[in-house]
Amino acid sequence: MSERSIGIAHPRLPLPERGGEDAPAVFLDWLFQAIPLAGRLGIQGMERDGDALTWQLALAPSLNDKGTGFGGALAAQTTLLGWCWATLWLRRHGYDRDVVVAESQQRFLAPVTGDYRLICTPQAEEASVRLAERMERRGKGRIALVQRLWCGDTLCLEAQGDYAVLPERRA
């Protein structure tokens, strides 16, 4: 893992062919370099199924003093997964843009007691269609995403985030 410098943007990955997918392992390797914290969150795998992006995570890096999931680490994971969902969606549609989280909130429902999966989907059924329309019309947009953390069959955390796609940078 290379050392990052404050104030210096990390190089972007080349875009996949329009409509093509990023290879999960390649994207995660880039993510761990671009956002050093990501490499320490216990992410073991990533897959996309339709509009759902799922991470498999190990609990060990996110343990609290009680031996369960630390809320701050879990909140960071939900925020980052939403950012990844938006970034990967943009890349699949041929956009090389910056994404920022505008708002986020979490509801902790049950303790996380073992390895878990975190699933991110759009909050509304037509959200990705509306994002595509805004990107085409205005060159920027927003999307509300929901993240759910499952430990086995138990829903432990629900989070919501509003992610903004920034306009293209002018040279």
pLDDT digits (tens, 9 = 90+) for 92-119: 999 999 999 999 999 999 999 999 999 9
Q: Taking Cα atoms as reference points, which of 45, 86, 79, 54 lies closest to residue 150?
A: 54
pLDDT at 155 (0 to 100): 98
Distance CA 11, CA 162 (A): 25
Exposure b/e, 112-131, CB count within 10 A at least 16 = b: beeebbbbbbbeeeebbeeb
Q: Which amino acid is at 167?
A: P
How many CA atoms lie within 13 Å of 169's alpha carbon, on the beta-carbon side?
A: 5
pLDDT at 1 (0 to 100): 46
pLDDT at 5 (0 to 100): 87
* All structural domains of the chain with their residue ranges: 24-165
Please give the CATH superfamily to which domain 24-165 belongs: Hotdog Thioesterase (3.10.129.10)
Strand partners, 149: 118, 157
Q: How far are the Cα atoms of 39, 40, 66, 87, 150 from residue 58, in angstroms, in the given order? A: 12, 10, 16, 23, 12
Q: Is the pLDDT of residue 2 over 60?
A: no
pLDDT digits (tens, 9 = 90+) for 124-152: 999 999 999 999 999 999 999 999 999 99
Split at pLDDT 50, 70, 90, the class of 4 is: confident
pLDDT at 167 (0 to 100): 92
pLDDT at 41 (0 to 100): 96
